[in-house]
Structure 1
């Protein structure tokens, strides 16, 4: 979703102006930065995996 403040990030749900697109979904720069630096043993790792799975679920629906 887009608004005057940018595009809604699929990870954090906030509207941001810069980031990346995967398929049709947007990931803000801050979330991308955090995700690529998160170790698989980090407690937030499963959250990121779940959110990223939503891209494929929504794209294949």
Structure 2
């Protein structure tokens, strides 16, 4: 059986084993699920966008 290692989530900062990796940045499954359910009008939406900027997928102007 393969042993999974814990990684720090870029959204919540907690150490978790389950989640996704985007461009070498880990997002735990709990934060991923909450992000998917969050409406754009929700105040937490901006929080998630701010954290996702760490991934660096946006082009520099």
Give the count of matched residue pairs. Answer: 55
- Matched with 1:31 is 31
- Larger radius of gyration between Structure 1 and Structure 2: 2
Which sections of structure 2, spanning at least 5 residues, go unmatched?
Answer: none
Name the one with the larger strand percent: 1
Instruction: Give the structure-1-normalised TM-score.
Output: 0.83
Which sections of structure 1, spanning at least 5 residues, go unmatched?
Answer: none
Q: CA RMSD in A?
A: 2.0
CA shift for structure 1 position 14 = 0.1
| SS of residue paired to 1:35 | helix
- Matched with 1:53 is 53
